């Protein structure tokens, strides 16, 4: 009986360890997607960039934060506080000196779906253009994580500089 109890405890511990390794592996894979995303922008690698996404349609919506939107309304009174785009349009708009930085990353996943949230800053010619919060939805397809949605807030650095926070 004692041996059976020890065996069951060891079996339970090994199952818990295996489950934790699975989560760690998925989180590492998702972090690699984030790194690849940033790297593709810097290296101008559209082919690899496009492989990060699931089949169209991909939800891509930016919401302009209140302070920036109020300034924009002075120039364009009917301006919406959001815009829709695609990852391909986003990529085409990048300049040669574009860079996006991610920090305060939080990944929630269950092995099939994932939600990733983080703060970001977008840079052009080594000058911060805008910043905000970003959220991605991902799914695991045939063993590979793919981005299915990108939602983000946008604040102009010139209008309302990003507060200093832990990165």
Q: Per-domain residue ranges for the chain?
A: 2-156
What pLDDT is attached to residue 56?
82
pTM of the prediction? 0.82
Q: How far is CA 23 from the centre of its chain?
A: 18
What pLDDT is attached to residue 68?
98
Res 12 pLDDT > 50: no
What pLDDT is attached to residue 77?
97
Better pLDDT: 14 or 71? 71
pLDDT digits (tens, 9 = 90+) for 19-73: 454 446 999 999 999 999 999 999 999 999 999 999 989 999 999 999 999 999 9
Local confidence band at 96 (pLDDT 50, 70, 90 cut-offs): confident
What pLDDT is attached to residue 90?
95
What pLDDT is attached to residue 167?
52
- For residues 123 and 153, what is the distance between their CA atoms, to the nearest angstrom? 15
* Two tokens, residue 62: 């930016």
- Hunting for tokens 């934790």 — which residue is that? 20
* The total number of residues written for the chain in this structure: 167
Q: Average pLDDT, whole number, for the chain? A: 88
What pLDDT is attached to residue 166?
59
Q: What is the mean pLDDT of residues 67-91?
A: 97
Share of the chain above pLDDT 70, in %: 84
Q: Look at residues 151, 158, 149, 165 and name the one whose alpha carbon lies nearest to residue 124.
A: 158
Strand 98-109 vs strand 59-64: parallel, antiparallel, or unpaired?
unpaired
Better pLDDT: 148 or 93? 148
Q: Does domain 2-156 have CATH number 3.10.450.50?
A: yes
Element (H, E) at 118: strand 113-124
Give just the sign of the alpha carbon dihedral 82, 107, 54, 113.
negative
């Amino acid at each position: 009986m004692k041996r059976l109890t020890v065996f069951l405890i060891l079996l339970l511990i090994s199952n818990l360890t295996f489950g934790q390794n699975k989560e760690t592996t998925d989180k590492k894979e998702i972090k690699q997607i984030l790194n690849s995303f940033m790297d593709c922008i810097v290296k101008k690698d559209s082919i690899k960039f496009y492989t990060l996404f699931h089949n169209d349609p991909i939800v891509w919506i930016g919401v302009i934060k209140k302070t920036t939107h109020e300034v924009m309304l002075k120039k364009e009174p009917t301006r919406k506080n959001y815009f829709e785009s695609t990852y391909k349009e986003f990529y085409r708009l990048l300049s040669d000196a574009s860079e996006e930085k991610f920090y305060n990353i939080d990944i929630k996943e269950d092995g099939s779906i994932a939600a990733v949230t983080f703060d970001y800053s977008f840079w052009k010619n080594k000058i911060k253009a805008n910043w905000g919060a970003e959220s991605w939805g991902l799914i695991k397809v045939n063993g590979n994580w793919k981005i299915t949605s990108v939602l983000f807030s946008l604040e102009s650095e010139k209008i309302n500089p990003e507060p200093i926070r832990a990165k």
